[in-house]
Structure 1
Amino acid sequence: MAIASSCQQANQKKEKETANTAKKSSYLSQPIISKIYTADPSAHVFNGKIYVYPSHDIEAGTPENDNGDHFDMRDYHILSMDSVNGKVTDHGVALSIKDIPWAGRQLWAPDAAFKNGTYYLYFPVKDKSDVFRIGVATSKNPAGPFKAEPEPIKGSFSIDPAVFTDTDGASYMYFGGIWGGQLQRWDNGKYDANGSKTDSQKENEPALSAKVAKLSSDMLSFDGEVKDVQLVDKQGKALLTNDHDRRFFEGAWMHKFNGKYYFTYSTGDTHYLAYAIGDKPYGPFVYEGTFMKPVQGWTTHHSILEIKGKWYIFYHDTQLSGKTHLRNVKVTELKHNADGTIQMIEPWVE
């Protein structure tokens, strides 16, 4: 009995190891860090080193709902590495919600920028009235710690700030997200607390658009009005609300390749990463297609970065936890074709 039991245990162990290996091999890439849960990675090269500015997922015990209340983050950790897939350093807490004077709850996807000898951390958080605004914090070190400005950026709202600095030195912030990101509640220019919980609900009209604003020279405020990101099909027509496979949902990012501006974003409830190409930072951007299939987990959020002549996409999934609110950051190569299109990425195989 003891021998049979021992053999059975050995077989079960072997089967478990085989299953784990198979599970691991079904993913295109592995998490860059597993000691903490991370998501929404914004990656940059500063001083020859790769810095990743992610959300810091935690198990807050908040019930899951379509508003995203279960994404109840409290601080940011900044990660760095000398090379792609190299050893990752967790620099600890760079900014805590308790150190943001105007903050209420939910520190969502951030981004960072460098100018004038200063590093800037841009972050969305709900204010004390439960309305998402975008704040900025500064540091002399890319790893922080960062000190938040006493008020949010005037005229900012919604979520997912992504800051792009063009070759002429001008910087632009792209932002916005529907559903829990509240963009749909700003349809008339003022926040409507009783507004839609999803989108405009005008199914056959142009979809809600991401926003873009030029940043001031000190990177702390908007220089001019907030504009709609013009996202159109190849006939020049705006994408409609009911076009869930193509319309903007959240997670905007901008990169420039061969003189063209690539506006990339998440389609949200259909879980694709999509892209559109334009000739100017404000667009119009012509929808080209999707370039990443759905990851494991509900959300998909990315950044795209050139490192030593190659392009990479930083993204997340739920490999480590299997829970949609406890995610892990990954990285893989992104390839542009000769005609400027982006090759499809398949992040995992079920």
Structure 2
Amino acid sequence: MKLITIIGARPQFIKAAAVSREISKHEDLTEIIVHTGQHFDENMSEIFFEELQIPRPHYNLDINSVGHGAMTGRMLEGIEEILIKEHPDFVLVYGDTNSTIAGALAAKKLKLKVVHIEAGLRSFNMDMPEEINRILTDRISDILFCPTQVAYQNLVNEGFKNYDCNVVVNGDVMQDAAIFYSKSSEEKSGILKKLDKKDFILCTIHRAENTDNRSKLRNIVETLNKINREISVVLPLHPRTLKILQRNNISAEFDIIDPVGYLDMIQLLKHCSLVMTDSGGLQKEAYFFNKNCITLREETEWVELIEYGYNILVGSDPEKIYHAYSKMIKKEFKKENDLYGGGRASEVIVNNLLKTNLIMTPE
């Protein structure tokens, strides 16, 4: 059986690596990895692949730094050529990027089987390009692997039991990755020694809804300044966002550091006192490493974290942010359930791909 994996962003490489490790256990499975080049990332150097034991892509389309339409169109063209040449049994796509929808569309129009990993997630915010990508990818996929029961229920509510597809609740492959890399992060990361802080809040801000809205960004930064007077705030920040702060004369009194790699981020997560973020992935990773989280957005795809009290949504409202901080910094983290599969998500994916006659039943 031949599988082609389409990925384009650094987090997708980490997720796909977890599945690739499971695929490699089966001699009758062959995987070909296609990197669209969507996120040009200097961190994806030789050391990125070596440290994280990630398979190097067989194809690199090097498509980046163009608008949504041009990017998706070029990806469609490039992916289609590869699929015609390789003719796989399954095409695997991850998440909700332009690479995801381009891979799914190219495969479907060639009548190839599409597998969507991280299916069924919904923010119910159609202003998000990611929401459009995930909805369309789900609809044309043949096998949909849902990270949570909530994601599965979203698909049921949208009528997927009436479609010719198979839906499986498999857990979250990112938890597989977090477990795998936790030990090596202790050995290879030097971020804590460099940072030299005992107590700190780990914060990230990157979503356009915050960075491109001057009022929201100012509210968030000024509230972080207030919190920083009580406990240190550490913010790995992309240079683009730093320029936005400087251009708008928004002064940060807390520690801004350069963007960090995955192993460094794990160490920051494991040793911080609290997480504040607008990242979907970091919300889950906070849970993986037993940290409470405050989400600087109006909605989240990971509603189970809200439901069980591990996470609070605050948007950019200063009063809500500070109130949530005051509550969550004191709250003991008690993991009383396993929301994301316990590290077996990749195993479930591969076992299901090896089976036939899948039915729409949660694992």
Q: Does TM, scored on the shorter chain, surpass 0.5?
A: no
Give TM-score, length-normalised by structure 2: 0.27
Q: Which one has the bigger strand percentage?
A: 1
